[in-house]
Amino acid sequence: MRAHMLFLVGTLALAAGRPVVAHHSFAAEFDVNQPFTFDGTVTKVEWTNPHAFVYIDVVDEQTKATTNWAIELGGPNVLARNGWSRTTVKVGDVVVVQGSKARNGTPLGNARSIVLKSTGQQLFAGSSQDNVR
């Protein structure tokens, strides 16, 4: 019995030492008062939990400089319920993304919707932004 108790205490001590991954609210990272609409070309798609990401190259109209934006979407489950699959948006697709910018000024945004320019299909991104206001 004592060996089982020591094993349990040791296991709990090891588990307590592991870092915890925090999941922040929309308002903690993004600013609803900094909306954006970007046209860009998809460079990468990450179908991961807790959020999927689409990376797009956006060309600044004035400077012609290209910036790669990381666009946060809902999780894969939410996206699937909104009609997405892993191959809905692919590298090379030209898209129009609407959402909100990150508070810290980095090229990070949270998408509300993405439109595939080739077909005109509008996809809802499962943003938690809809719960903020």
Examine the pLDDT at 90 and tell me if it is beyond 60.
Answer: yes
Which DSSP string corresponds to 17-83? TSPPPP---HHHHEEEEEEEEEEEEEEEEE--SS--EEEEEEE-TTT--EEEEEEE---HHHHHHTT
CA distance 125 to 75: 9
CA-CA distance, 68 to 18, in Å (whole number)? Answer: 33
The mean pLDDT value for 69-96 works out to 95
Position 63 scores a pLDDT of 96
Instruction: Tell whether the model's pLDDT for residue 3 goes beyond 90.
Output: no
Q: Domains (ranges, CATH) in the chain?
A: 26-131 (2.40.50.140)
Q: Taking the complete model, does pTM exceed 0.85, yes or no?
A: no
Span 33-75, pLDDT tens digits: 999 999 999 999 999 998 999 999 999 999 999 999 999 999 9
Which of 65, 82, 60, 67 has its CA nearest to residue 111?
A: 82
Band the pLDDT of 130: cuts 50, 70, 90: low
- Position 20 scores a pLDDT of 41
Cα 54 to Cα 26: distance, rounded to the nearest angstrom: 17
Q: Which run of H or of E encompasses 115?
A: strand 108-116
Residue 110 DSSP label: E
**Which residue in 130, 95, 132, 99 sits closest to 113, CA to CA?**
99
Q: Which residue's entry shows tokens 């439109």? A: 115
